[in-house]
Amino acid sequence: MVSMLVWLQSLLMWVPFVFGLCVLVYVAIADFRCRLVSNWVWVFAYPIGCALTLVGLVFSLVDVGVVLVSFVCSMFLGLVLFYSGFYGGADVKALIFIGLTLPTIPLTLNHTLGVPVLPLVLVMFCNSTLLSLIWPLSIFVLNLNHHLRHKRACMFEGIKLSLRQKVWLLFTAKLTPLDKIGVRYFPAETVVTLEEEGAEEGGKPTRKLLRFVRAETDLKKHKDNLMKHSELYKNGVLASPTIPTALFFTLALAITPMGNLIFFFVAYFFGVI
Which pLDDT tens digit goes with each residue over 131-159? 999 999 999 998 888 878 776 567 888 88
Residue 12 has pLDDT above 90, yes or no: no
All residues at 6 or more sequence positions from 98 whose CB lies less than 8 Å from its CB, including other chains: 20, 24, 74, 120, 121, 124, 249, 253
pTM score, two decimals? 0.86
pLDDT, position 114: 47
- Structural domain includes residue 6: no
The strand pairing partners of 187, in sequence order, are 239
Q: How many angstroms separate the CA atoms of 15 and 2, rounded?
A: 20
On whether residue 151 sits in a domain, the answer given is yes
Given a contact cutoff of 8 angstroms between Cβ atoms, the answer to whether 104 and 120 are in contact is: yes
Report the pLDDT averaged over residues 61-70.
89
User: 198 in a domain, yes or no?
Assistant: yes
Res 271: pLDDT = 66
Collect all residues with Cβ–Cβ distance below 8 Å to 71 and sequence separation of at least 6: 96, 99, 100, 103
Work out how many domains the chain is built from and give that number. 1
The mean predicted confidence, pLDDT, of the chain is 84
In a domain, 8, yes or no: no
* HSE (side-chain half, CA atoms, 13 Å) at 49: 27
Instruction: Report the alpha-carbon distance of residue 219 to residue 214 in Å, rounded.
Output: 10
Band (203; pLDDT cuts 50, 70, 90): low
pLDDT of residue 41: 94
Quickly state the pLDDT bin for 196 (edges 50, 70, 90). very low
In a domain, 168, yes or no: yes
- Tens-place pLDDT, residues 16-27: 999 999 999 999
Domain presence at residue 179: yes
Specify the pLDDT at position 221.
87
Render pLDDT for 222-269 as a digit per residue (tens, 0 to 9): 888 888 888 888 888 999 998 999 999 999 999 887 777 777 777 667
Cβ proximity of 226 and 219 under 8 Å:
no
The answer, yes or no, to whether residue 119 has pLDDT greater than 60, is yes
Whether 200 is covered by a domain: the verdict is yes
User: Residue 145 is part of which domain span?
Assistant: 134-241
Confidence check: pLDDT of 106 > 80? no
Helix, strand, coil share (%) of the chain residues, nearest 5: 65, 10, 30
Give a yes or no: residue 160 inside a domain: yes
Q: Are 100 and 70 in contact (CB under 8 A)?
A: yes
